[in-house]
């Protein structure tokens, strides 16, 4: 079984992309190795995102808000897939990625923008977490070894059109 490197991008790399990195790595039985980065990383991981990731038993010490520039260098892991998970990152000019990975946009509302009680914030994070988890499950159902890059890109973009928030 081949493993695929998947990079999730967002602007701040503090919530959605962090959760996606952990979900991809922990739920794919080794098929996906998740990474995350931001175009303008905020430098910290949102505590509610860390809480969601901890429930997966993902090593929280691996979590850090980092620049996408780390993944555009020749010595960085070569990505097979790059997924933007917030609308700001989708419209930005991305670095040139080594190896020409398949790209797609999976927009999710920003759970860190939710105001209210901690429980209301947790609920927003749970909804986005469930939406990301669903899209990763759909990705894992693709017969990637039998699809060419254009077909995979079309499929990943279609997955991005599924409901962003689980109801």
Query: pLDDT per residue over 18-56, tens digit each?
Result: 999 999 999 999 999 999 999 899 999 999 999 999 999
CATH superfamily of 4-159: Response regulator (3.40.50.2300)
Catalytic residue numbers read 10, 86, 94
Query: What's the CA gap between 63 and 109, in Å, rounded?
Result: 21
Helices (H), 28-60: 47-54
pTM of this structure? 0.91
Q: Is 138 helix (H, G, I), strand (E, B) or coil?
A: helix
Contact 31, 142 (CB under 8 A): no
């Amino acid at each position: 079984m081949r493993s695929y490197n998947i990079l999730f991008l967002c602007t701040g790399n503090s919530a959605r992309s962090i959760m996606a990195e952990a979900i991809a790595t922990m739920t794919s039985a080794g098929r996906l190795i998740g990474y995350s980065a931001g175009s303008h990383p905020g430098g910290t991981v949102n505590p509610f995102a860390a809480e969601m990731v901890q429930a997966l038993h993902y090593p929280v010490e691996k979590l850090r808000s980092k620049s996408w520039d780390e993944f555009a260098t020749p010595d960085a892991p070569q990505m097979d897939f790059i997924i933007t998970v917030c609308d700001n990152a989708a419209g930005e000019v991305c670095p040139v990625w080594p190896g020409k990975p398949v790209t797609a946009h999976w927009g999710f509302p920003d759970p860190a923008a939710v105001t209210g009680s901690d429980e209301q914030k947790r609920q927003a994070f749970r909804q986005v977490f469930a939406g990301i988890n669903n899209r990763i499950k759909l990705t894992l159902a693709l017969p990637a070894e039998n699809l060419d890059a254009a077909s995979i890109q079309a499929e990943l973009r279609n997955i991005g059109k599924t409901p962003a928030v689980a109801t």
